[in-house]
A and B are shown apart, each in its own frame.
Chain A
Amino acid sequence: MQPAFLPSNPSAMSSTLTQSTPLHHSVALEPMLRVVNVSRSYDGGTVQAVCDVSLTIHKGEHLAIMGPSGSGKSTLLNLLGALDLPTSGDIDFEGQSLCKRTDLDRFRASTLGFVFQSFYLLPTLTALENVQIPMFESSLRARQRVQKAAELLNLVGMSHRAGHLPAKLSVGERQRVAIARALANDPKLLLADEPTGNLDSVSGSIVLDLFDRLHHDHGLTLVVITHDAQVAARAQRTVWIRDGRLQ
């Protein structure tokens, strides 16, 4: 089975991952995710993490959400990723309200990919096994899972480390494995929370190049949370958030 993100020649793809890629990718202005007057408060309203945010993310867009620590950007990402529900307002994905869905687990598994700052790779599983983790929620058989995971590792240039445990990988390599894992179920939208936050500049650059490639060559819709201007500069559009409000 050929995953949607796999190139016709994966080895050629992985060999170019470290090269800088052009960012001028045309975006069809078809809305994918629409955030309408969303607020999220905690502790009975005393803490207002996100306040009256409205935002539209289009298909194929590479969006950066920037803001200082505590500005509410991670809360906003959690809302976009159906990990949390707004206190008020609505979020719809391709016309369907997330607040009304009862199958958010399935929605996340089939539609979204997550890349975390702390990777969250399972330490007892090899890179190849970690990539298979989201596929447990798909209809793939065991052999197909292994094959697809191997191809995704090839895509991110990590096939030579497939049998290694996370502890034996560099932080940059861990993040590339985490990106391969995020692509496991062919997501429509990839959400990355400070994806280079724990990486050195070289590893960070490799990861950003990989995002560029996925966006440019495969039309993947990307939302990246960052406080790093260099990371945001790779995006087509950047929105600023401060004190829970979009600027």
Chain B
Amino acid sequence: MNIWKIAGKNVWRRPARSALTTCGLAIAVAAVVALVGVSESLESSFLELYVGPGSDLVVQRRGGTVQLSKGIELKFGDQLQMIPGVREVIGGLMDMISFEDQDLFMVIVNGWEPNCSVLDRVNVLSGRRLMAGDKQVVMLGRILASNLGKRTGDYVQLYGQEFQVIGVFESFSVYENGAVFMLLDDLQRQMDRKGEVTGFVVLAEDRQPATIQAICRQIEALDPEIAATPCAEFVRSLTQMKVTRAMSWFTSMFAIVIGAILVMNTMAMTVFERRGEIAALRAMGWCKKRIAGLILSEAVLLSMVAAAAGIGLGLGITILLTYWKKTSGLVQGDLSWSAVAEGACVAIVIALVGAAYPVYRCTRLPIAETLRSTG
């Protein structure tokens, strides 16, 4: 027999209360795991969108907090291509639209040139890829086509006009699977940004950091208004990502605080109900540290069960989001280890914080008085 066994038996002593506390705590953990996990998933998916095809740099106009609102001349791409060490330059225009009738918001529209390697990279599931000379046609990502209920040959309404779906594709990126591809000049016309792209991605011949840095410097020397940023840094700097992450933690904080109060309530009641026993243990010579260890062990046991349940629940929520129309084009059904670790840490921290006050109280019980009042 050891302290953990005694703690386990004490937790089991009030099964209903322990189960309810565990549920509350598990929901808090699930909220953290799902919200933080989704925001991390958004970030990693977005990074993968760039890094997956081997992109090294993102070139955009400097200083825009909303990257979509500022553009660069498409011709600037020719100058980029001339820089030594640059293997490929892909220019693209990007927009975000909604299909309100279908409850779909934040759908990405990408405009690509007909010879763009992105169109070669995606796997065409039906129909064909965009080609030079196409007008008023689009390709739909697999998830978007499914959510809209459209197939090759159907029409979709974009920017108040009918566009024919000439192909449905699948990409490695969840964003692209939820996106619309159209030819660049079509999108420029719709957005009234003729000759412009949102930015370029640059693929270098040599991917050594020193080489990438050198290319960065050369690009930025071309135009002081232009910023060339390594992909990972670019994704991390996106305002939308920062806001999503901050909102996730902000929302999670409420769940965490509620969880901590739950644990505190449970442990405070436990200590109150058992104050006679605790005083007897002190009389028998148990030191304050051992008593504190017992109460903390009980809280940690509760939190460990809650962490396991919460992580499972969080994963379930994340998977469900991939099937929900509104989020299916944004969320991947996986959780990062860091989100799982954060969830587990949150459970342990909640347990320790929640148990701190009851521990403080029980180590300060006046032994003689408590024995008298409970005897």
Q: Which residues of A contact B (CB under 8 A)?
A: 74-75, 78, 81, 83-84, 105-110, 112, 114, 116-118, 120, 122-125, 129, 132-134, 136-137, 142, 145-146, 181, 185, 193
A134, A136, A145, most chain B CB atoms within 10 A: A136
- Tell me, in angstroms, the Cα distance from A132 to B281 when the chains sit together: 12
Query: B residues within 8 A CB of A122?
Result: 6, 277
User: Nearest B residue to A181 by beta-carbon distance?
Assistant: B284
Query: A residues within 8 A CB of B364?
Result: none
- Tell me, in angstroms, the Cα distance from A110 to B285 when the chains sit together: 8
Query: Which residue in A83, A137, A142, A181 is a CB contact (below 8 Å) of B368?
Result: A83
Quote the shortest CB–CB distance from B371 to chain A (angstroms): 7
User: Nearest A residue to B2 by beta-carbon distance?
Assistant: A142
- Tell me, in angstroms, the Cα distance from A110 to B287 when the chains sit together: 12
B1 within 8 Å of A (CB atoms): yes
B276 within 8 Å of A (CB atoms): yes
| Of B7-15, B22-30, B135-143, B191-199, the one with at least 4 CB within 8 A of chain A | B7-15
Task: Evaluate contact between B367 and A114: CB separation under 8 angstroms.
Answer: no
- Tell me, in angstroms, the Cα distance from A123 to B277 when the chains sit together: 9
User: Nearest B residue to A146 by beta-carbon distance?
Assistant: B1
Query: A residues within 8 A CB of B284?
Result: 108-109, 114, 133-134, 137, 181
B254 within 8 Å of A (CB atoms): no
- Provide the main secondary structure of the chain B interface: helix
- Whether A75 touches B277, Cβ cut-off 8 Å, given contacts A105-B282, A109-B286, is no
Query: B residues within 8 A CB of A117?
Result: 375
Task: Evaluate contact between A84 and B367: CB separation under 8 angstroms.
Answer: yes
Interface members, chain B 262-312 (any A CB < 8 Å): 276-277, 280-288, 290
Task: Evaluate contact between B285 and A106: CB separation under 8 angstroms.
Answer: yes
- Tell me, in angstroms, the Cα distance from A166 to B153 when the chains sit together: 78
Task: Evaluate contact between B9 and A118: CB separation under 8 angstroms.
Answer: no
- Whether A118 touches B375, Cβ cut-off 8 Å, given contacts A84-B367, A84-B368, A145-B1, is yes
B374 within 8 Å of A (CB atoms): yes
- Provide the main secondary structure of the chain A interface: helix
Task: Evaluate contact between A142 and B1: CB separation under 8 angstroms.
Answer: yes
- Whether A83 touches B283, Cβ cut-off 8 Å, given contacts A74-B372, A118-B374, A118-B375, is yes
User: Nearest B residue to A113 by beta-carbon distance?
Assistant: B284
Taking A105-B282, A114-B284, A124-B13 as known contacts, 12 extra A-B pairs with beta carbons closer than 8 A to each other, sorted by chain A number, are A78-B371, A105-B287, A106-B287, A108-B283, A108-B285, A109-B286, A116-B283, A122-B6, A129-B6, A134-B284, A136-B3, A137-B285
Query: A residues within 8 A CB of B281?
Result: 133
Query: A residues within 8 A CB of B372?
Result: 74
- Whether A83 touches B1, Cβ cut-off 8 Å, given contacts A106-B285, A117-B375, is no
Query: A residues within 8 A CB of B283?
Result: 81, 83, 108, 114, 116
- Whether A124 touches B367, Cβ cut-off 8 Å, given contacts A106-B285, A129-B1, is no
Task: Evaluate contact between A124 and B9: CB separation under 8 angstroms.
Answer: yes
Query: Which residue in A107, A116, A124, A125 is a CB contact (below 8 Å) of B371?
Result: A116
Query: B residues within 8 A CB of A74?
Result: 372
12 contacts between A and B (CB under 8 A): A84-B367, A109-B286, A116-B283, A118-B276, A120-B277, A120-B280, A122-B277, A125-B6, A129-B6, A132-B1, A133-B281, A136-B3
Task: Evaluate contact between A105 and B286: CB separation under 8 angstroms.
Answer: yes
User: Nearest B residue to A109 by beta-carbon distance?
Assistant: B285
Query: B residues within 8 A CB of A185?
Result: 285
Quote the shortest CB–CB distance from A236 to chain B (angstroms): 25
- Tell me, in angstroms, the Cα distance from A142 to B4 when the chains sit together: 13
Query: B residues within 8 A CB of A132?
Result: 1
- Tell me, in angstroms, the Cα distance from A112 to B284 when the chains sit together: 8
A-B pairs, top 7 by smallest CB distance, nearest first, are A109-B285, A120-B280, A124-B9, A78-B368, A84-B368, A108-B285, A105-B287
B358-375 vs A, CB cutoff 8 Å, 1 = contact: the mask equals 000000001110011011
